[in-house]
Structure 1
Amino acid sequence: MSVSMLSTFVKPMHPEGRRFVAIAAVLTLALFWVWEPLGWLGAGLTVWVYYFFRDPERVSPTRADVMVSPADGVVSLLEPAVPPAELGLGPEPRLRISVFMSVFNCHVNRLPTEGRIETVAYRPGKFLNASLDKASEDNERNGLHVVLPDGRNYGVVQIAGLVARRILCWSEAGQTLSRGERFGLIRFGSRLDVYLPDGATTTVRIGQTMVAGETVIADLSGQQNEA
């Protein structure tokens, strides 16, 4: 197999996944000892765990006036909504784009566009199906209030799902991140909400497949029409 073909199937793994792959591998060895067919099931589980924590390189657009998807997945909601109060984005509705991640998507989260993190706010909650609208209000979540270089702001919120039990965010208030830069991860199925800044227009539609860090979800100049 050539190097290019190998890189198509073998992706780098995020360090967060190492212990889970190790646990799955030990379980697989035990299952092989008990009964070989069970061992092969365990081997499949180990591959899936590795695949879940894959962290491929992404190339973000160079245009300064666009926002990219923070997650792999599918656009599940596209509507005006009031941002979570803890983010400090105000009480007025903003256009919200929700990207739902299944357990088969890459779960590393990336910043939609360049900005300084003003606030990182975690709130405990329930673990409802992340595709539901009320998950934005009721589920465990972690949100970032980001200030653009031009002074406008936006929010991006990690939302735990039905089987997700851990939201990770390694970015802190005061940091300035570039478009597509990794800021967190959610384990085992979840959702990302983006609350657009004033004047931005969406370029996606419900059901569209997203690639984190690459798929353009909004135009900051406001010159494009909503998809």
Structure 2
Amino acid sequence: MFHKEGYNIMVITAIILIAINVVSYSLINIYWVKFAIAAASVILFFLILQFFRNPKRVTEKNDEHIIAPVDGKVVAIEEVFEKEYFKDNRLQISIFMSPVNVHVTRHPVGGEVTYSKYHPGRFLVAWHPKSSEENERTTVVVKNNVAGEIMYRQIAGAMAKRIVNYAEVGQQVVQGSDSGFIKFGSRVDVFVPVGTQVNVEINQKVKGGISVIANIPS
């Protein structure tokens, strides 16, 4: 199963690769060169397919759980001053996605979207300390009956050149449902209240829609 954001890219890539191979078979007489072009085309198309894969995930919905919004590795767990929306101290959990990870973004909690904003910006590497504030990004806040308001921020990296965000203010969203997509590598930060019980550690790998990264007791 593939994400809808990848359909156009997959079709265009397939057309270009087929054209390249047709031309190479017509003009090149050296067999191993033609074979190398065909093999490279297959590998490239496979990489595109795996990047836009969208595996079905069954989320165990629980208002006391904050689930990982994306697949990847936990690279930061720290208390920070969140100045865009809350304007107070929050616990930030950052998950880095490599190009081989699933890049679907999912809602970490269910509830009402109270804030959703796109910010144009730079394309620093995703692990850069200033990427959260200077890179292209979207910030979304979901208000949950138990957890209160939980923020997550999609951050473009050096390779990611487009962030897709489906969250709209006033929208009712379901925990684990599709909230967007980041193309070609990036990071997502989740901001939770200070004192929240964190269930993950630095360098731990998590799965979007499945892994519980924090608990907020009712």
Query: Fold match, TM over 0.5?
Result: yes
Corresponding residue of 2:64: 65
Moved more, 101-110 or 190-199: 190-199
User: Alpha-carbon deviation of 1:171?
Assistant: 1.9
- Which letter does structure 2 place at the counterpart of 1:60? T
1:29 and 2:2 matched: no
Aligned match for 1:104, one of 75, 100, 107: 100
Corresponding residue of 1:7: none
Corresponding residue of 1:225: none
Corresponding residue of 1:221: 217
User: Alpha-carbon deviation of 1:174?
Assistant: 0.4
Distance in 2 (alpha carbons) for counterparts of 1:168 and 1:126: 16
Runs of 4 or more consecutive aligned structure 1 residues displaced over 3 Å after TM superposition? none
Q: Pick the structure with greater CA Rg.
A: 2
Q: Is the 2:154–2:163 contact (alpha carbons within 8 Å) kept by the matching residues of 1?
A: yes
- Which letter does structure 2 place at the counterpart of 1:22? V
Secondary structure at the residue paired with 2:54? coil
Matches within 5 A, 1:3-152: 12-33=1-22, 34=24, 35-85=34-84, 88-89=85-86, 91-150=87-146, 152=148
Secondary structure at the residue paired with 2:70? coil
Corresponding residue of 1:4: none
Deviations 1:128-164 (A, max 9, x none): 1102222111111001011111472121000000110
Corresponding residue of 1:210: 206
Distance 1:175 1:198, change over 3 A: farther
Distance in 1 (alpha carbons) for counterparts of 2:182 and 2:16: 23
Deviations 1:97-129 (A, max 9, x none): 000001101100001111210010111110011
Distance in 2 (alpha carbons) for counterparts of 1:106 and 1:129: 18
Deviations 1:187-220 (A, max 9, x none): 0001100001355221101100010000000001
1:178 and 2:167 matched: no
Equivalent pairs counted in the alignment come to 208
Secondary structure at the residue paired with 1:82? strand
Distance 1:62 1:171, change over 3 A: closer
Secondary structure at the residue paired with 1:193? strand
Corresponding residue of 2:31: none
Q: CA RMSD in A?
A: 1.5
Distance 1:36 1:23, change over 3 A: farther
Q: Is the 2:64–2:147 contact (alpha carbons within 8 Å) kept by the matching residues of 1?
A: no
- Which letter does structure 2 place at the counterpart of 1:123? H
* TM-score normalised by L of structure 2: 0.90
- Which letter does structure 2 place at the counterpart of 1:13? F
Moved more, 29-38 or 120-129: 29-38
Q: Is the 1:160–1:190 contact (alpha carbons within 8 Å) kept by the matching residues of 2?
A: yes
Distance in 1 (alpha carbons) for counterparts of 2:96 and 2:184: 12
Judging by fraction of residues, say which structure has more strand. Answer: 2
Percent identity between matched residues is 35
Q: Is the 1:103–1:189 contact (alpha carbons within 8 Å) kept by the matching residues of 2?
A: yes
